Structures are given as C-alpha cells and as structure tokens.
Structure 1
C-alpha cells in the first residue's frame, strides 16, 4: 500500500528532487546496469521520479517504461523528457516476462517491510528469463520518517540479500556507501543487482 504522505511530498517537491538526481551522464551503477541489458531491451523504471535514469537508458538504445506513484513526478518526467512516464504504484506491477531489466533505484524503500517479499516476487515474474534487477535501499533497522516526513523501511545488507534470493533472484553484485539525499542527511545505502535464471 502506497504511503500517501510520501507521495504528496514528492508531488510538491518534484522539481527539487529532479535537481538532486539529474546528471548529464549515467553514474557508475546505472551504466553498469545499462551494459547488462540487451540492445532494445524493455526496462521497468520503478519509482522513476523525474525519469532521468530512463532518459539515459533511452539514449543508450534501451526501451524504458518509467512508472511512479507521484503524479507530480510523472508530469515532470513527461514535460522534461517526453518519455511516456505513467502513474503506477508497486501494487500495480502485474506483467509477466515483459522486461529485460528492472531499475528499482531507491523506490522500494518507501514500501512497508511486510510487502517487500510480495513486490519482489512480482518483479521476478515481470522479468524475462535472464533479466536483471537493480535495487537501491537505505541501510539500517526498523522504519520511520525522515526530516521531510517521507516514510522509509530500512534494511540490512543481509536482509536485502535474503529478500532477493527469497524472490528467486541470484545476487551478483553488492555495493555499500553513504550519500546525501533530499532531506539533507548523509545516509548509508546498499545497491544490489541480481538475475532471474530459468
């Protein structure tokens, strides 16, 4: 279930968030993901925000499907990139073997902990055999709201690995770091990539 307060914050702060995440070239994580997807591959950009990542994917010859639960983000994405971003929540993902990749970069961290297994299972179904998933989450324990009232579920590295393997993925890459987000705090994070194998 989507957190309405978090969505409302993104509606209001869409332009601020876009300034924070938009880069002229893909960062290392996005470039590594792009390099793993076959030319022309369809990619679900889950929680696309202003669709900066989708724009880079499109420029690289991929076929992004950017979705977000925030109408403000969807509108900004389409105004900026003319990229057919559409409104959808995690609960709306019901495709089967439709994507070569799923880019879930710091989006699933807004989902309740008990819903994560269900959402990851849906993403596993949505991927073709051999498909790649990228997941970014903030690390820690428990759940709570940040300084601008967005809801977060924090995970440990081991917990995220268990969630991904439990959904049927083989984890192939893990990276930890710290980064300043829109709330202005330096927060620890983990990025994992995994594959769906027949």
Structure 2
C-alpha cells in the first residue's frame, strides 16, 4: 500500500489514533476469539498494526507478537508496547513462508487497492503455518473513495471478500459485522471474516 495521502494522515494523527484504538482493543471480542484459537506461545503478526495496541494485547496473552506498519510514527508507538517486536514494513514485504500461527489484519487491508488485494491475501496464506489463523476486518460496501480526512478506502461485500479468501487458499470459518466510528468521526458499516490456511 503506497498511497502517500493515506500514509501521511496516519503519520500526522498517530497519537490520536493510538488513543482511539487503545480501549477498543482491550474489550474486542474478535481479538479475544482470535487469541483463544492460537496455540500457547504462538507466533503472530499484526499486519498494518498502527500503534500496536492489538499486538500488545496478544503479547500480554503470552503470544510472540510481531507488529508491522509502513508509517514510522506508528512503528515507534508499536515498539514502545511491552513485548512487541515492531518493524516498518508494508503488505508487500510479507514474503515469509509457514512463519506465523496467526495473522491479524484489522482495518488495514482496506487501504490496499482492489487490484492489490489478491496478491496480498496469497502472501498471507503462504506466510501462515498449516492451519494458521487469519483475521481480516474491512469497511463494507462497494467501490472505493477517500474519507473526510483523506484516507483512501476500498470497500468489500461479504461475498466478494469470502471469494477472495477462498481463491487465496484459505477457508472461512466465521464472520461478524457491525457499525463503528473511525478516526474521521464518521459511522461506517464493517465486516470481519475469520479464516484458516
């Protein structure tokens, strides 16, 4: 994901975004379920981690937590989390094979273009160990557009996202949906799918 306008928004609002996500992750039932589905001490990747608050919850649960983000300001915040290994990297940097028990992509891949998504999902499938768990959450809908603060989004329906995961070689095992308020203050519908390699 190389959209400079989106990356610049996150760089400028890193601290604000950290405050927004900190409390939400502590009580996120999807994160709790993801952690419960992993082996004790498993190796996990928070892909597009932002300030690393999800990775911190995973680390506190005894997992080996790695956190990647393309924005230096976000990586600095993630690196400050206890027991989190942070790296400045994007979706295309995931070239590992059979490396992770779980990959968590929570409202990060929605910034990729529709053309980029199949390749990124294939890379995630390769990076997961056999049976490894994957979580993806995106804003639901169709098309793509920028939000009020300039971030570019690509929207997906449940059916389209399910098809993309299956084409990447993953099996969808659960789904959730809801409405939430993001960094720009707008309410938006979202979908989340759980899958395994």
Tell me the TM-score normalised to structure 2 length.
Answer: 0.97
Q: Which deviates more, 82-91 or 159-168? A: 82-91
- What's the counterpart of residue 127 of structure 2? 126
| DSSP 3-state at the match of 1:114 | coil
Residues 27-58 of structure 1 deviation map (CA, whole Å, 9 limit, x = unaligned): 10000000001011111110011111111101
**In the aligned structure 2, how far is the partner of 1:181 from the partner of 1:71?**
21
| DSSP 3-state at the match of 1:189 | strand
Q: Give yes or no for the alignment of 1:170 onto 2:194.
A: no
Q: Give yes or no for the alignment of 1:6 onto 2:6.
A: yes
Using the TM superposition, give the Cα deviation of residue 26 of structure 1 relative to its aligned residue in structure 2, in angstroms. Answer: 4.1
* Count of residue pairs the alignment pairs up: 196
Q: Is the 8 A contact 1:178 1:187 kept in 2?
A: yes
1:1-198 correspondence to structure 2 within 5 Å: 1-23=1-23, 25-81=26-82, 83-196=84-197
| DSSP 3-state at the match of 2:115 | helix
Q: Is the 8 A contact 1:26 1:53 kept in 2?
A: no
Residues 117-165 of structure 1 deviation map (CA, whole Å, 9 limit, x = unaligned): 0000000000000100000000011001000000100011111111111
Relative distance call for 1:179 and 1:44 in structure 2 (3 A) is same
| DSSP 3-state at the match of 2:66 | strand
| DSSP 3-state at the match of 1:10 | helix
Q: Is the 8 A contact 1:26 1:56 kept in 2?
A: no
Using the TM superposition, give the Cα deviation of residue 82 of structure 1 relative to its aligned residue in structure 2, in angstroms. Answer: 6.0
| DSSP 3-state at the match of 2:84 | coil
| DSSP 3-state at the match of 1:22 | helix
Using the TM superposition, give the Cα deviation of residue 174 of structure 1 relative to its aligned residue in structure 2, in angstroms. Answer: 0.5
**In the aligned structure 1, how far is the partner of 2:44 from the partner of 2:3?**
25
Q: CA RMSD in A?
A: 1.1
Using the TM superposition, give the Cα deviation of residue 77 of structure 1 relative to its aligned residue in structure 2, in angstroms. Answer: 1.7
**Unaligned residue ranges in structure 2 (runs of 5+):** none
